[in-house]
Structure 1
Amino acid sequence: MSYTIDQMEAVFLPKTVAVVGAPRTFKPGLVFLQALLDPGFKGEIFPVNPSADSILGLKAYPSLASIPADVDLAILLVGVEQIERVMEDCVEKRVKAAIVFTSGFGETGERRGFERERRMVERAREGGVRLVGPNCMGVYSPEAGLGFFPSMPSVVGKLAFVSQSGSLGAFVTMMGTLRGMSFSKVVSIGNECDLSSCDFIDYLSRDDKTAVITAYLEGTRDGRNLMAALREASARKPVIVWKAGSTAAGARAVSSHTGSLAGADAVWDAAFRQAGVIRAGSLEEMIDIATALYYFGRVGGRRMAIISGPGGPAVAASDAAERAGLSLPELEKSTVKELMKFVPASGASFRNPVDLGVAPWGIISLYSDSLRVVEKDESIDVTLLIGGGITPGGQQEYLQYMIDLRKDLRKPCLLISLAGFTGDLEFSRALQSAGYPLFTSPEKAIAAYAKAVSYFEWRESVGS
């Protein structure tokens, strides 16, 4: 790859940041300076604006050259007409890396935009300045206190996201947080005129803080290097890619969005399979797959047991399991015998799926008690539990029983939120903190788990 660790640390873990073009009054650019103050950048911040003495309580400087310290990272918020001059300033200041928020470059499809981008990159490379963007939203790095917007979560996690769409990074961060996940690093790469998706994916694959890599890609300027980076990364840790621009209309949108080449979808699909990449068909599926991998780590085994109170979702889950290549083996006789000791026989079925009937309405502990028994079955690799209380009191009972049980579980367990767990943030967070991933439907949970299993089967097939 074309980067050094020192250059990437200037992007994700800088000690000094200059915000060039920081406005004095409320304008969109001011938000990015506020994002350094909240949750709190851990280094020094230098706003650059020749017309201001101070901005948001910080001393402002008339130029990069006037800053009395070395600058690791420059955030460029100036107009496109000023970029060449500011890039010259970055070179003279020996700035290590710059994030170019400005648009008006190659993504316009116009010759003038391509020329601007070419000249900017040429000067940056001559001066040893690495670029993120242009036409991007920057970096979210909770370890350093860098954020897209103010008040972003400050907890450091193990999920990373690389995005060719700017504001999507903020949405993915919010979605991941609602699923109980925290992030190591998120980067919006825009036109990727210098540092590219290849570089960031390779770097994250070697990053000890990152366990799962997710990415939104529209296209690439260097397919060969991207696939090499993806294959090497997939051999180390899961890589989930949501690839858009698969139709003619989508490809046109890609060209105007980031100036990338979308390419034929069948070619991408084949390349992803060869590289061991987990392909997601939507934003929600990418988050679902990441959730399974975030909570379980390495998974193996396609033998699933389904436990449910409502019968209809259990049937739908059975269909989904077969479509996903999972099996529903019959439970061992000893398991069935143990279940029959405490599950009322009326309306219940002790095959797989295990249908608890209406009994949990009155005996909420049947969910946790049944899960405790079924997960010990030697013919089962993973369990899926559909249920919950139908009253606030029942929900709280269910919550306590499931939290108490979690420490004894040795196999992956997927919880389905038919009763609307995800609408109760406190309830959801308690289950997530205990180590349960929550999904909104059996179909989504099963599809995510099956893709996670397929990934580790690929790892075994290539000996990694």
Structure 2
Amino acid sequence: MSHLPEHVVKAWVSGFGVDVPRGATATTHEGLEAAAAELAPPLVVKAYGPQLLHKSDAGAVRLNLGSAGTAAAAGAEMLYDLAGQDIVPDGFLVEEQAAPGVEVIVGAVRDPAFGPVLLVGLGGVWTEALRDTSLRLCPITEADARAMLDELRGRALLDGYRGQPAIDKDALVKLLLAVGGPGGIVEALGERLVEFELNPVICTPSGAVAVDARLVGPGSLDGPSTTPAETAVPQGDFGRLFAPRGVAVVGASTKKPNFGNMFLGFYKVMGFKGRLVAVHPAASEIDGVPCVPSLAEAGDDIDYALVAVPAKQCPDVVRQASGISYVQVMSGGFREMGNPELEAELLAAAREAGVRLLGPNCMGVYSPSGGQTFIGGEPGRPGRIAVISQSGGLAGEVIKVGERRGLSFSKVATVGNSADVTPAELLRYLADDDETGSIGLYLEDPRDGRGLFEALRHVHKPVVALIGGRSGQGQKAAASHTGGMVSDTRVWSALGEQTGMAIVTSQDDLIGTLDFFDLHGGRSAPGTPPGTQKEILVIGPSGGASVLAADVFDAAGLDLAALPEEARVALKELGLGAGSSLANPLEIPVGPRGNPDLVRLAVTAILAERPYADVITHVNVQSFFTFGSSADPLLAYTRSVGKLQEELPATRITLVTRNAECAPAGVEDAVREVARAAGVPVYRNMEAAAVAVAAGKRSAHGTA
């Protein structure tokens, strides 16, 4: 891989407003003295050439040189040392040495999935040993640049530490924008970018100077940029995908039940109201479903074909689908199994037939309102939650577990290898879908990462993502599953920061966050002062549980802001505070013999003095059946929490039912049903609630 000489790169980047030291070059060490004549010491001498990408490692840098003559002598010494390594430099660069300051690295690379990514970090050991860096996808904004600096663990060094002056942070922000902002270096490089680095950038109270610059990839900086236009994510109309007039199933057998037969059964149980046919060359019917000889003879009202035949037969089947809007290939054995050429043939067949391809290696589509399904059993109620998943099995679990907890879905699409229809394209469609209020993603390989970034920037609904394969071993599992080459986990984090997409780490948290978004997505929490978005109020029984709750919510990045004095006075008037502190979390008696309205009254009193956007009320379910024998007091408490939500429609109330497994059968379901009917999500533990509340606060469009 070629790289340009440092002085060439520096001369080029200075045209973008990047400050670099004054310097000059010489082709021989003897010429260094004349080259350095106009420069002010102390000086730095560096050798450059094709073998000197990492100059310091080769000993090709000399610092603190007091004169032009000593610079020439250093060049001679350096030439001798390099000869011992069989390195012949092309020449030497001599520069004025920058004043000491805080060392920062600024770099950009081309991620294989997401395109140009900007990195900033503290130099030296902070970058190499502690990986104290922050990333953003390009182009960045000024807000992005400042957020990147705030994310660094060693950011105190930038603000002045142990008597040291603060750096000129505005100058560093300006440099970040010069590299990764609109019209900056990354954009100018376009497709030529492989790796670009300014390291170190010396930051002082008077500015930021790039004292080293490296550009790997292009052999020249001449010529126009090859930057492509903003990724144009196709705006497909997927209406017929989720609500087809007719469905054809290819692969069902008259002799031995298989996946094709299973899907025919699913559609029959679903009560599909459109036309359902099986494709079989000889049979007249299969399992009571009429047959047609081929997809070419399926009929004009067939909008969706499901193909469940061996992988090698799939391209020929798809070629027969002309006139059908969507073909889903359930079969595996393509790119994910090391057969990319077969997947390419399948995609070519879809193009030839003029159809859109879902998959391959995917389970299909679920939409209760549109009659679509890929899971057994009666369909759930139509709702406003949509999911895009690269795993059909996981999507089925999200649906079944979610519906068991009271969630309802509008549209669920599994995309498998995403050879044609991508998550980005479906996300664009769901962003404008009137039946969808919140969106969940399960991704391993986004296929079109740049398109996903652009799509997320245009979504004005809450989005939560579960990313598979973020660890080294997870990447290996993802490769065997969908052929995914998953990007650095920090790129996903950057994607979330820039787009407002919440990221969770488990299936249960994905379901829990979708529940939170579904019930609380429209609550605006008016009156909440600026800068208090992370503040929460936690209220419930048990001092120990309150202490543990404080730890859990603090670890989630949430702030248990103190109660104002006026609120404490109001709480004392309710009879609270005897034997416990009036703090946040607020310990309050809740049990079978207590006043079920006490929490509602206490929260109302507190919020009259200080608005909290989020209130987490928790209860020890076990106590209701250890010190009582009926579920009625627990249900009365739950109804009171629901009434609190109705009285405070802009505030997000969340209920945690600790130790719910101690309740008799059916009680937990009854509590959840009462709470959800009032718009209150229910979680079994503080950890699950903390993830959902934090995701809601991070989401750009879900909750404020």
TM-score (norm 2): 0.60
The higher-RCO structure (CA 8 Å, 6+ apart) is 1
Task: Please state which structure has a larger fraction of its residues in helix.
Answer: 1
Output aligned runs, 1:257-272, within 5 Å: 257-272=481-496
Figure out how many residues of one structure are paired with residues of the other and give that number: 452
Question: Once the 2 structures are TM-superposed, how far is the Cα of residue 245 of structure 1 from its aligned partner?
Answer: 1.0
Aligned to 2:605: 373
Instruction: Report the counterpart of residue 84 of structure 1 in structure 2.
Output: 315
Contact 2:440/2:514, CA 8 A, preserved across alignment: yes
Structure 2 unaligned runs (5+)? 1-231, 526-532, 626-630
Q: Report the alpha carbon displacement of residue 50 of structure 1 after superposing the two structures with TM.
A: 2.7
C-alpha distance in 1 between matches for 2:294 and 2:591:
72
Q: CA deviation at 1:345?
A: 4.9
- 1:202 corresponds to which of 423, 428, 431: 428
Deviations 1:61-83 (A, max 9, x none): 22223334432111111222321
Checking the alignment, whether the CA contact within 8 Å between 2:639 and 2:674 is kept in structure 1 is no
Pairing 1:101–2:325 present: no
Shift of residue 344, structure 1, vs aligned partner: 5.5
Q: Following the alignment from structure 1 to structure 2, what is the Cα–Cα distance between the partners of residues 358 and 108?
A: 56
Task: Identify the residue that residue 409 of structure 1 maps to in structure 2.
Answer: 648
Which moved further from structure 2: 244-253 or 64-73? 64-73
Q: Which sits farther off after the overlay, 419-428 or 211-220? A: 419-428
Aligned AA (1:16): G
Residue 278 of structure 2 corresponds to 47
Distance 2:598 2:447 in 1: 55
Counterpart pick for 2:556 among 295, 314, 324: 324
Q: Does 2:695 correspond to 1:446?
A: no
2:261 and 2:575 mapped to 1: Cα distance? Answer: 60
Relative to structure 1, the CA distance from residue 167 to residue 280 in structure 2 (aligned partners, 3 Å threshold; closer, same or farther) is: same
Within-5 A mapping of 1:415-434: 415-420=655-660, 424-434=668-678
How far has the Cα of 1:244 moved from its partner? Answer: 1.5
Partner in structure 2 of residue 307 of structure 1: 539
Question: C-alpha distance in 2, partners of 1:77/1:122?
Answer: 19
Out of 578, 583, 608, which is 1:351 matched to? 583
Q: 1:253 to 1:54 in 2, by over 3 A?
A: same
Deviation of the 1:359 alpha carbon: 6.7
Report what 1:135 is aligned to: 361
RMSD of aligned alpha carbons? 2.5
1:398 alignment counterpart: 637
**Taking structure 1 as reference, are residues 359 and 394 closer, same or farther at Cα in structure 2, changes over 3 Å only?**
closer
Partners of 1:432 and 1:99 in 2: how far apart?
A: 35
1:18 maps onto 2:248 in alignment: yes
Match of 1:126 among 333, 338, 352: 352
What's the CA shift for 1:423?
6.8
User: Does structure 1 retain, via aligned residues, the 8 Å contact 2:540–2:619?
Assistant: yes
Secondary structure of the residue aligned to 1:369 is helix
Q: 1:398 to 1:276 in 2, by over 3 A?
A: closer
Contact 1:349 1:356 in 2 (8 A): no
Aligned residues with identical type, % of pairs: 32
Moved more, 142-151 or 332-341: 332-341
Secondary structure of the residue aligned to 2:483 is coil
Equivalent-residue separation in structure 2 for 1:268 and 1:438 (angstroms): 28
Q: Is the 8 A contact 1:159 1:213 kept in 2?
A: yes
Check 1:326–1:252 CA distance in 2 against 1; reply closer, same or farther (3 A cut): closer
Offset from partner CA, 1:98-127 (integer Å, 9 cap, x none): 000011111111xxx222211111121122
Which of residues 239, 243, 246 is equivalent to 1:9? 239
What is the distance in 2 between the residues matched to 1:459 and 1:337? 30
Shift, 1:205, TM fit: 1.4
- CA 1:435–1:349: 2 relative to 1, 3 Å: same
Which residue number in structure 1 is paired with residue 438 of structure 2? Answer: 212
For 2:472, the equivalent position in structure 1 comes to 248
Distance (Å, rounded) in 2 between the aligned partners of 1:454 and 1:256: 32
Question: Shift of residue 97 of structure 1?
Answer: 0.9
Q: How far has the Cα of 1:36 moved from its partner?
A: 1.3
1:67 aligned to 298, 309, 314, which one?
298
Distance in 2, Cα, partners of 1:144 & 1:76: 20
Which shows bigger deviation, 236-245 or 368-377?
A: 368-377
Following TM superposition, by how much is the alpha carbon of 1:456 offset from its aligned partner in structure 2, in angstroms? 3.0
Cα distance in structure 2, aligned partners of 1:417 and 1:459: 23
C-alpha separation in 2, matches of 1:336 and 1:436: 26
Identify the structure with the greater strand proportion.
Answer: 2
Q: Report the secondary structure of 1:38's partner residue.
A: helix
SS at match of 2:700: helix
Gap change, CA 1:221 and 1:344, over 3 Å in 2: closer
Q: Distance in 1 between matches of 2:468 and 2:682?
A: 26
Superposed displacement of residue 334, structure 1: 4.2
Which structure has the larger Rg over C-alpha atoms? 2
- For 1:274, the aligned partner's letter is Q
1:297 CA drift (Å): 0.9
Residues 68/357 of structure 1: CA separation in 2 closer, same or farther (3 Å cut): closer
Between stretches 396-405 and 410-419, larger displacement belongs to: 396-405
Query: In structure 2, the residue corresponding to 1:417 is in which secondary structure?
Result: strand
Partner of 2:410: 184
Q: 2:233·2:424 contact (CA, 8 Å) conserved in 1?
A: no
- Give me the whole-angstrom Cα distance separating, in 2, the residues matched to 1:239 and 1:404: 28
Deviations 1:248-306 (Å, cap 9, x if unpaired)?
Answer: 22112111111121122223322332233211122222222222221111456333221
Q: Which moved more, 1:211-220 or 1:268-277?
A: 268-277
Residues 37 and 131 (structure 1 numbering): CA distance in 2 closer, same or farther, change over 3 Å?
Answer: same
Pairwise CA distance, 1:2: 5.8
Counterparts of 2:703 and 2:538 in 1: how far apart (Å)?
Answer: 27
Instruction: Report the AA paired with residue 431 of structure 1.
Output: A
Whether the aligned pair in 2 keeps the contact of 1:3 and 1:195 (CA below 8 Å) is no
Distance 1:87 1:215 in 2: 27
Q: Could you say if the C-alpha distance between residues 130 and 68 of structure 1 is closer, same or farther in structure 2, counting changes exceeding 3 Å?
A: closer
Q: Is the 8 A contact 1:414 1:437 kept in 2?
A: yes
Question: Structure 1 CA distance, aligned partners of 2:614 and 2:475?
Answer: 39
Could you say what secondary structure the match of 2:270 adopts?
A: coil
How far 1:14 sits from its partner (Å)?
1.0
Q: Take 1:360 and 1:344, find their aligned partners in 2: how far apart are those partners?
A: 18
TM superposition score normalised by structure 1: 0.89
Distance 1:243 1:152, change over 3 A: farther
Cα distance change, pair 375–34 in 1 and its aligned pair in 2 (3 A):
farther
State the alpha-carbon separation in 2 of the partners of residues 162 and 458 from structure 1. Answer: 18
Tell me the amino acid that sits aligned with residue 545 of structure 2.
Answer: P
Bigger shift: residues 218-227 or 163-172: 218-227
